[in-house]
Structure 1
Amino acid sequence: MAAPTASLAQDAREIMIKVDDATNHSYSSSVRLVKFSTCRYSISGGKLSCAEKPRVVIFESFSKSHRPPGRRDNDNKGLDVIIQPISDKNTAMLSWGYAEDDKATDFWVYLPVLSKVRRIVSVADSGESGAVFGSEVSAEDADVKKVRDYTYEMLGEDTHRGRPVWKIELTPTASRSKRSYYGRIVSYVDKERFIVLKEDLYDRTGRHYKQYSVLEVEQFGEVWMATKAVMNNLTKRRITHWEHSDVVLNVDIDDEFLSQRSLTDFAYRERHMQLYRKYLTQEKVGTQQAAAKP
């Protein structure tokens, strides 16, 4: 029995390597317009509905990555800046991820009300890492998963929203467990496109804590990407719908822009943001022109 079991584990890991390639290595940078809509919900007649007015946050997202020589993983940097609502405008989050072994991603948030930059602390002994802009997406959820940080087990095959998928269980390694709120993750991987369409996220006690589910997928050149999804916090009964309304890939983004200077130097940040926004406008115009062709 040992040989088939080992083979299944290896197959599961090879599949997740392809997921990593499709998700993290198929483009070098991106500019996106993102909307989060978050609410506390109730369930009646098997249907989920908001029990309060959703909190809607719209932000611009800029990211860039590169693979250091001799490394499997990328160094990556990202900057997210809220543009709506007005009360939260200019709140910004900066992230730096590293290809180095066992080096945790750094997150910083600028809060304009306090005129201060705060660092988001990773998981220590208990609580989940900080929420992204008040949503049910945590800093850990937003972080890039590294293949080496997990062991893998093939649980079988299934379908999600009509798509055939593999069910693969991810268990954090001892090193990753120190920085993770999750005890295990069950991923549903699209067999054709090698992107994750659903995740069941369990906390360290084994409780089914969250569920991530993709609603829409779009293709940008050769890249498949989720453009609408939900993160459901099953214990708090809070849900975040998110969507990328505009996306453009492989933009020339200045490294200095993705630094702490952009958190507090508004004039500097806005100059660069105006430049990168033009890529979104150009992409939208090009798409509309293409759609107009017979």
Structure 2
Amino acid sequence: MKITYRIFLAALFLAAPAVCLAQDAREIMIKVDDATNHSYSSSARRVKFSTCRYNVAGGKLSCAEKPRIVIFESFGKSRRPPGRRDNDNKSLDVIIQPVSDKNTAMLSWGYAEDDKATDFWIYLPVLSKVKRIVSVADSGESGSVFGSEVTAEDAEVKKLRDYTYKLLGEETYRGRAVWKIESIPTPNRSKRSFYGRIVSYIDKERFIVLKQDLYDRSGRHHKQFTVLDVTRVGKAWLATNAAMNNLTKRRITTWEQSDIVLNVDIDEEFLSQRSLTDFAYRERQMQQYRKYLNQAKGGTPQAPAKP
């Protein structure tokens, strides 16, 4: 009887660290969610995507073709419904360059509701048609954003409850102390996710993601997301220069946010399907919001800090 009791106590002692690590991982991700999704309520940005196939020689990556450059303006707004942890969020992205793609626009609506997937629509001016973007769990190519290596799934705001978390350890990444955390999609999330596992490197001081290794559902290392520059805008730390490397296709998209303004007064109707098809209305509204962007042109309130 005493032996059995001792074995039981030993089992509890050995299990305690694992439980503690799991709890710590979730608590860390809650702080990441606060820093990323709850530190401001709206934003206006100019963003440049540069996408190319690449070669690797001597440990260095270089484009094997002329990069495809896309510049777009992005407007977003979020709010937390009463009693909810997650936000409802809406965003509209409109291409301004190149001329051949100008006025192509993408609208997204994310929901705080349980198990409700983000809605994406894209307006193609050549066809004068709105198409719905569907992120398919079995295809990493579905829902590409403006022809980049960023997919609709990559772009959507993640919900904490859609994943389970495990602390894999602590280390230094590019001179920053980080936690290494594994995120596994829940069964419901897995039904609409291409990824089976994500390993994130979390800045201990700023609670932002500095790198992610994204694995498909077969366990293959499919993509790597890397933050290249971080800027403080008001109270928020933002990734202003980053890259998404498709390791399978050997294609990479880097993006740069040159102008950012937070907590802009954005009309709710502007972030609706009306802005996809009513060009005159959209331009009137965008001219108003561009005033904020023009004020920020040439830099953000504080200089970039290397991650």
Q: What residue is the counterpart of 1:253 in the other structure?
A: 266
Give 1:174's match in structure 2, choosing from 187, 201, 205. 187
2:104 to 91, 94, 99: 91
> Residues 247 and 8 (structure 1 numbering): CA distance in 2 closer, same or farther, change over 3 Å?
same
Residue 30 of structure 1 corresponds to: 43
Amino acid at match of 1:260: Q
Q: Which runs of 5+ in 2 are unaligned?
A: 1-13
1:185 aligns with 2:198: yes
Counterpart Cα distance in 1 of 2:213 and 2:140:
18
Note if contact 1:29-1:65 (Cα within 8 Å) is conserved in structure 2. yes
1:162 to 175, 179, 193: 175
Paired position in structure 1 for 2:163: 150
Find the residue that maps to 1:180 and give its secondary structure.
coil
Structure 1 residue 127 displacement after superposition: 4.7
What is the aligned partner in structure 1 of residue 10 from structure 2? none
Deviations, residues 244-281 of structure 1 (Å, cap 9, x unaligned): 00000000000000000000100000000000000112
In structure 1, distance between residues paired with 2:82 and 2:199: 31
Partner residue of 1:49 out of 56, 59, 62: 62
1:211 paired with 2:242, answer: no
1-structure distance, mates of 2:128, 2:171? 49
**Structure with larger Rg:** 2
Distance between the aligned counterparts of 1:206 and 1:108, measured in 2? Answer: 30
Distance, in Å, in 2 between the alignment partners of 1:250 and 1:200 is 31
Q: Deviations over 1:182-229 (max 9, x none)?
A: 000000000000000000000000000000000000001111000000
Kept in 2, the 8 Å contact 1:216–1:226? The answer is yes
1:242-281 residue pairs with structure 2 within 5 A?
Answer: 242-281=255-294
Q: Percent identity between the aligned chains?
A: 81
Q: How far is 1:158 from its partner?
A: 1.6
Name the counterpart of 2:4.
Answer: none
Mapped to 2, the partners of 1:146 and 1:218 lie a distance apart of 24
Return the letter of the residue paired with 1:56: I
1-structure distance, mates of 2:223, 2:298: 38
The 2-side partners of 1:285 and 1:142 are apart by: 25
Which blocks of at least 5 consecutive residues in structure 1 are unaligned?
none
The Cα shift of 1:284 comes to 4.0
Give 1:124 deviation, angstroms.
4.3
Q: In structure 2, what is the Cα distance between the partners aligned to 1:153 and 1:17? A: 13
Q: What CA distance in whole angstroms lies between the structure 1 residues aligned with 2:293 and 2:126?
A: 29
1:122-166 Cα deviation digits (max 9, x unpaired): 224445431100000000000011110000000001222211100
Indicate how the Cα distance of structure 1 residues 124 and 167 shifts in structure 2: closer, same or farther if over 3 A, else same: closer
Does residue 201 of structure 1 match 2:218? no
Structure 2: which amino acid aligns with 1:105?
A: T
Amino acid at match of 2:242: A
